[in-house]
Amino acid sequence: MEIMWVKICGICDRTTADQVADLRPDAIGLNFYAQTPRCIDPRTAAQIVDSLPESIEAVGLFVNHSLDEVIDRTEQCSITTVQLHGDESPAFLAELKSRCPELKLLRALRVGDEGCGAVADYLAECRRLGVCLAGCLIDARVAGSYGGTGHTAPWDLLVDQYDSARWPRLIVAGGLTPDNVADAIRVTAPYGVDVASGVESAKAVKDLELVKRFIAAARLASSAAKRTPSDG
């Protein structure tokens, strides 16, 4: 297993961004979805992107924005990685990639007890359209929500059903905290982990001690997994 890719999502202001960057995650998420308290304005987002060290990736999170809105926002804020977290179709991704081939695309998909059947169909259509995803973020399915609920995804189902050999790199999200991220990594063996509410002291307020603990736990868990011989 590679060293774990860790993303801290829902950064709302420059001060928090600077403080989180000092803790050295691999990426921070800037949420442009207006219907969340973690929504960030474009001017602040641009300032944050400009201030980040090169080692930390800024990921723009979009939920059912129009194609032009996504493109305008990424250009305005100098964002090169986009996370689509709404109902965007594979055709939408194909058009976005056609117009902006330099963008890295992460697709967030929600999974519940029904399993990964819909994920398989969606990713098959992406392959048919020639869309290459940099990663697939699996979040918990919660009715009426596009994420940030604090509910965990069904890890056991991911182990059985996520086709890591053919599908994009797995990023686990949903209900992760400093206390359970090691278990999530041990069970699912993902490429990366993504957290928002699990490192907050209040809605949209990042707790730096929790962020620090989360990053350390994720990195330690991935190092331990790397040292453990496989059964095969």
Does 78 fall in a domain?
yes
Residue bearing the bigger pLDDT, 227 or 168: 168
The reply to whether 81 falls in a domain is: yes
The residue range of the domain holding 41 is 5-227
Which residue carries 């924005």 as its tokens?
65
> Is residue 232 domain-resident?
no
Domain total of the chain: 1
The reported pTM is 0.91
- The answer to whether residue 130 is domain-embedded is yes
Instruction: Tell whether 104 is covered by a domain.
Output: yes
Rounded to 5°, the CA angle 29-33-37 comes to 80
User: For 136-182, how does the pLDDT look when each residue is reduced to its tens digit (9 = 90+)?
Assistant: 999 875 554 555 556 687 888 898 999 999 999 999 998 999 999 99
> Is 117 contained in some domain?
yes
User: Over 60: is that where the pLDDT of 231 sits?
Assistant: no
Q: What is the CATH number of the domain that holds 179?
A: 3.20.20.70
| Structure token pair of residue 79 | 């964002």
How far apart CA 211 and CA 36 sit, in angstroms, is: 20
Higher-scoring residue by pLDDT: 67, 149:
67
Is 30 a member of any domain?
yes
The alpha helices in the chain, defined as continuous H runs, are 14-21, 42-51, 67-77, 90-99, 117-128, 155-161, 181-188, 208-227
User: Over the stretch 1-15, which tens digit does the pLDDT of each residue have?
Assistant: 467 999 999 999 999
Is 106 inside any structural domain?
Answer: yes
